[in-house]
Amino acid sequence: MKDYLRLHFIVLLWGFTAILGKLLAPTPAVELVFWRTLLASSGLGLLLAARGLGWRLPWREALKLLGVGTLVAAHWITFFLAARLSSVSVCLAGLATLALWTSLLEPLLLWRRVRAYEVALGLGAMLGLYLISQAELSQLTGLLVAVGSAGLSALFSVLNSQLVKRHAPVRLTFYEMAGACLSIALFLPFYGRYFTQGAGVQLALHGYGWLWMALLAGVCTVYAFSSSVELMKRLSAFVVNLTINLEPVYGILLAQLLYWLRVPGFGQERMSGGFYLGTIIILISVLIHPVIEQWNRRRARRAGALEAVV
């Protein structure tokens, strides 16, 4: 129960990242993620030194972690881009396809049997996503980018569920944040020349930008990311990603709270009935999974007890 409560708190923090992305809107998505990963890797490096933990790894393992960090960077860039191409609500609804992606990727990468009910629940999430896309055609681009971002998140989560068995969570997170920062740093010259329409790379932060960035890097990255990796020692990637699908609920509620508090930049998000129906279908597909898992475990225990008696 302690692990599940901690996981929900982490998901609440991640629901807040879309809001921080809106507050940091003057900073483009690529530059935003560069600062986030630079500050996070620096903080994690200091944490490793303070705890007296060694940072050296065999070069093959180091390359694996740095490579996963590149996936993390791509996920975050597409996530913040989706939040700017659409509303916070639509972006988070697209991210709710995480469980579907995981149900498909986990059997492929971990060589386990495909579970039909996981695919069925994932297809239910896709139905909800279809209703959202039909209801909010004006925000379809942001929705599709968010779905792609969810796929990247599912991929590195499944990989981390295996890597955490061999590496300490703080060291693993340090290498992945360093890999994310390094990959963006190498991409920045190409990005500034071909993708900024002549504006160049914009790394400056203004006003409260440093405060929002400190929250994003310290609380929502160093603490939340390393804690989620540590929880994968005891919880499967599917269970973690299934819980992360509640991020839209937390994010939408937080966005509405900021609207009620009159925070500049946050208007009331009025969506059509199709959006809310699609979101409800996605959440039902998410919440029904633990019930099926519990039923399967009880059935397996009864079958085992029956065999023992026979």
Q: Which helix (H) or strand (E) holds 155?
A: helix 140-163
pLDDT at 272: 67
Residues 185 and 179: their CA atoms lie apart, in Å, by 10
Mind listing the pLDDT tens digit for each residue in 3-22? 888 888 888 888 788 778 77
Give 108's pLDDT tier (boundaries 50, 70, 90): confident
Q: When comparing pLDDT for 305 and 283, which is higher?
A: 283
Which pTM does this prediction carry?
A: 0.74
Using alpha carbons, select from 224, 185, 211, 174 the residue that is nearest to residue 31: 185
Residue 265 has pLDDT above 60, yes or no: no
For the cut 80, the answer to whether the pLDDT of residue 38 exceeds it is: yes
Cα maximum dimension of the chain: 76
Q: CA dist 210 to 17, 60, 85, 204, 239, Å? A: 15, 36, 23, 10, 34
pLDDT at 242 over 80: no
Predicted local distance difference test score (pLDDT) of residue 39: 92
Cβ proximity of 24 and 76 under 8 Å: no
pLDDT in tens, 115-149: 777 777 777 777 776 676 666 667 778 888 988 99
